[in-house]
Amino acid sequence: MHRIGPGEAVLLSPVELRQPATNPPITRMRITHHSIPQWPVDLRLQYDGYQMGSGSQTPITVGDVLYMIRTSLHRQITHDDWYQLSDFKHDAVTRAYYRRCSRVPSMETLEAQQGVKRVDYLKEEYMFAGLIRAPDEDGFFHWNLITERSY
């Protein structure tokens, strides 16, 4: 969704989702968040000569970025991930988990059965707010994921 004002948002159109995510368009990017640096989101699109013609590469789109961020954040954590949390972070992630599960009462049981997810590590700041370019280290285009509290 795209925020258009305080408390107002509209769905992104299919045309907006197909737009290149960056200008100039790129085919590789890595997205990280300071709360979960152990789980970068890597996007690397392969050559698709039929779609773009003349041997060019398909650029990463807005839809690709949003889909991959959501997919990555909604992965269940492992037992090892859970045991590596400090007591303080354990409590904060637990609160975030219960908040997420209770947000949609009709889905609460299903969400609870899926366990703690990466998004719970973002605690109260889980709403997508954008990406900021970060220094490149290894040939990827690096971006920092910016999140904020839900209103």
- In tens, the pLDDT along 3-50 reads 888 878 899 999 999 999 999 999 999 999 999 999 999 998 765 554
Radius of gyration in angstroms for the set of CA atoms belonging to the chain, rounded to a whole number: 17
Mean pLDDT calculated for residue range 89-116: 91
Distance CA(72)–CA(43), nearest Å, equals: 11
Whole-model pTM: value is: 0.86
The pLDDT of residue 52 = 45
Instruction: Provide the residue ranges of all domains of the chain, joining segments of one domain with +.
Output: 19-148
Whether the predicted pLDDT of 136 surpasses 50? yes
